[in-house]
Structure 1
């Protein structure tokens, strides 16, 4: 009997027709991509720290992680931009040794007419009503009361005389720089009223992101949101993501972070990192906090990359991110410099919409310390990940329990046997299908350089070396006009 059956025994004498099903040739693949969001919880939430939980609704996140918590805000920002990608959240407790950031709003002069203050706390708009003749202390109390009434805000407030002290709900560095301002959209201030602002500062002691990384285990999360940019956490993140991308685990993940600061501070920060699996968006002076921008960026990127890992992300809207003021936006040349420092950039439209300009990784130098652009764009590791997955899927689907023989072996038709030549043909067929998807190009060179062979020392092992030519992206168009008059 030449045919290899899986379940019908050879020693069968009972009369009847027996048919087994085998899906090796079905070729139907389905992938549900997943995102993991790491962030801080409040003790008012019900979810224990360090345990991944699937989140599908902002109200669910509020109950799980506490109203006004960082993680609840991250989940809401992600879902506002993307409800299609499966999202999991991993709660972290505050660092017990940390301190909370604090800022202030000072009422410098009292209003002489009634009106409404358009107050923005971390990009969230609040309306504060004032009356003519209110004292500076009264206005300060009204501002504090309005902040405290907004329970989803990541801060609380207290007023003393003319000063409102705004304090982060969480300990740690993430809330340093949290934006406080009025009239983001040039809303009119009540006559006579003047306010001065000091953004939050003094926060210290982030949680350890390793708790979230350990919680991910060997589960394959395609993307991750990390709110922390301190060196210790980034080293842990880069090390784990590099290991997950490696051949022994093959569960690669790209992490999204965000950094706020001056142009010089941002470039300095980026130039010290070198991971092909971390992508950092510079936020400049955007009122939207970095921990929310990283979630928004991940949401937008994940939705597009799941559809096509090779298609550039440029022009995609960062839904929910507020732009820096016009006079504080970086020029084209300034953004170009950041793209050489491992920092992703965005542009701002005339309507204030923020759009991804170029999503790059933080990889900049090879092992010799020389400049290397091989992993510059996030599409490169994303496409490599998908190619590897398709190759693994092909082998596991078509040849799950096959025997291995050398080319030229005269085995019977229907035998569960595979040879190097068969695998070579399958790899070529797969490459052609990926070419049709627009992931790769140059089939002829791939065919010429493809090597498939049995291992010289292990007869049960099949080796191959291929050279996929990843399709590139239209990033720059340049023309030269030599005009005639």
Structure 2
């Protein structure tokens, strides 16, 4: 006997009654992935601090974050790479205490001829024509440079210094992160001389939101960010307090009962010793951090660039290698040596590769997870792909179970029940999990392997103290991204 949802068994009125049931018709169960950009806003930004909000476009993002803010810069980097994700922002109020990082450019002599002075500032290429006609002075050149910098709309403002030819550059936001802003000369007109002092003096590591505060932000979120199956975060701040807060929240949301985690992208810029020390005291399985050797691009821009580039690839195929994915606009600094690269990968830091034309791409993205609670080394979550693919596998298992078994009765075994009864048994569940693994996860998606091992190690039981509950433990054997080929060529002169 077939069971109906809306047609009663006691019906006697003549007619043809047909239910329409779409519970088995869904094809696209994944939907559109979501990206959350997290960074500092300006007071001019219209968005409320510490609240996630959907943005409709780059213009909307800049309006809500405030032109020139860290968050607005991240939005510009993101939209320059991909428009295909649903974009949200989490604006953080800028620190009101501490000091802003500053830098100094001092023009000491004018060029012999009218030429272009070009330099990178916070990852943006700025070009200024330095005129020598009509008696142009150092003061005139300074005015032109200041105007060019302020017209770009980055998180640095320029002003004339006290001395002749001095240009003061100041980060819009207070904080030590401003010390990492890159300032690098590309070309100087012949005869023109200038001195450059890089950014320094920024103080106050922002303790903007603790773990509990971040949890409340996500728990109270009504923007729609958490509705997506796949969620990613570009984190513009990389200080220990902020990273720890996001790490704790990523673990909470990854685990039951929420089961709605995310991958986090951030960046570090500095020298080798600083990089090793930075990665050594962290243990974050859902966070990936690229490591730039005193990069020209700011850490917040770099986070947005990597997130915008890598997240779509992870979404499309969570087990595929990310090597070679282009990082449009990233200026990563000096190349690390081979020995340094290997050591960084053992310190939880990810690598980018720099081509001879100056463009950058991903070398390897790993998580910042390094060890077990007892401090013994553990590579279970080495590649950022691992937590991504396991969450996607869990989603497929959960969604299929919800579609098939909601509204059913639980029985330990099939006691010759007639077909059509809404009853789920141990064999029913076992068949479902094995079919999903073999036909969907392995054959269709290519995420897993070793079906016989999976089948032989799958254990399902009806809970001995709760007959409405089934428990199972499985051992999916996931694919790994392919990064290394090792060979040995034993040549011969004759055979």
Q: Hey, what does 1:355 align to over in structure 2? A: 361
Q: Hey, what does 1:256 align to over in structure 2? A: 265
CA distance in structure 1 between the partners assigned to 2:254 and 2:299 by the alignment: 26
Q: Hey, what does 1:162 align to over in structure 2? A: 165
CA distance in structure 2 between the partners assigned to 1:367 and 1:277 by the alignment: 16
Shift of 1:48: 1.7
**Contact 1:174–1:227 (CA<8 Å) still a contact in 2?**
no
CA distance in structure 2 between the partners assigned to 1:299 and 1:252 by the alignment: 18
CA distance in structure 2 between the partners assigned to 1:108 and 1:364 by the alignment: 50
The change in CA–CA distance for 1:128 and 1:416 in structure 2 (over 3 A counts) is same
**Structure 1: unaligned runs, 5 residues or longer:** none
Structure 1 runs of 4+ with >6 Å offset: none
**Structure 2: unaligned runs, 5 residues or longer:** none
Q: Does 1:39 align with 2:39?
A: yes
The change in CA–CA distance for 1:319 and 1:213 in structure 2 (over 3 A counts) is farther
Report matched runs for 1:75-474 at 5 Å. 75-132=75-132, 134-150=136-152, 152-160=153-161, 161-183=164-186, 187=187, 189-205=188-204, 206=206, 208-210=208-210, 214-217=216-219, 219-220=226-227, 222-324=231-333, 328-432=334-438, 433-436=440-443, 437-474=445-482
Tell me, what secondary structure is at the counterpart of 1:408? coil
CA distance in structure 2 between the partners assigned to 1:228 and 1:274 by the alignment: 17
Q: Which is further off, 212-221 or 343-352?
A: 212-221
Tell me, what secondary structure is at the counterpart of 1:77? helix
Deviations 1:36-58 (A, max 9, x none): 11111112222222222222422
CA distance in structure 2 between the partners assigned to 1:404 and 1:5 by the alignment: 18
CA distance in structure 2 between the partners assigned to 1:62 and 1:411 by the alignment: 62
Shift of 1:339: 0.3
The change in CA–CA distance for 1:79 and 1:178 in structure 2 (over 3 A counts) is same
Deviations 1:408-458 (A, max 9, x none): 223232111111110110000100111111100000010011111100110
Shift of 1:212: 5.6
**Contact 1:103–1:167 (CA<8 Å) still a contact in 2?**
yes
Q: Does 1:476 align with 2:475?
A: no
Shift of 1:207: 5.5
CA distance in structure 1 between the partners assigned to 2:28 and 2:412 by the alignment: 29
The change in CA–CA distance for 1:321 and 1:158 in structure 2 (over 3 A counts) is same
Deviations 1:229-265 (A, max 9, x none): 2111122111111111112210111111100000110
For these two proteins, the number of residue pairs brought into alignment is 476
Shift of 1:392: 0.3
**Contact 1:123–1:322 (CA<8 Å) still a contact in 2?**
yes
Shift of 1:120: 2.0
Tell me, what secondary structure is at the counterpart of 2:293? coil
**Contact 1:174–1:291 (CA<8 Å) still a contact in 2?**
no
User: What's the TM-score once normalised by structure 2's chain length?
Assistant: 0.92
Tell me, what secondary structure is at the counterpart of 1:258? strand
**Contact 2:270–2:294 (CA<8 Å) still a contact in 1?**
yes
Tell me, what secondary structure is at the counterpart of 2:350? strand
**Contact 1:224–1:254 (CA<8 Å) still a contact in 2?**
yes
Deviations 1:185-211 (A, max 9, x none): xx4x22221122222222233251455
The change in CA–CA distance for 1:6 and 1:98 in structure 2 (over 3 A counts) is farther
Tell me, what secondary structure is at the counterpart of 1:174? helix
CA distance in structure 2 between the partners assigned to 1:483 and 1:410 by the alignment: 67
Shift of 1:19: 1.2
CA distance in structure 2 between the partners assigned to 1:162 and 1:352 by the alignment: 31
**Contact 1:111–1:192 (CA<8 Å) still a contact in 2?**
yes
Shift of 1:89: 0.8
Q: Does 1:67 align with 2:89?
A: no
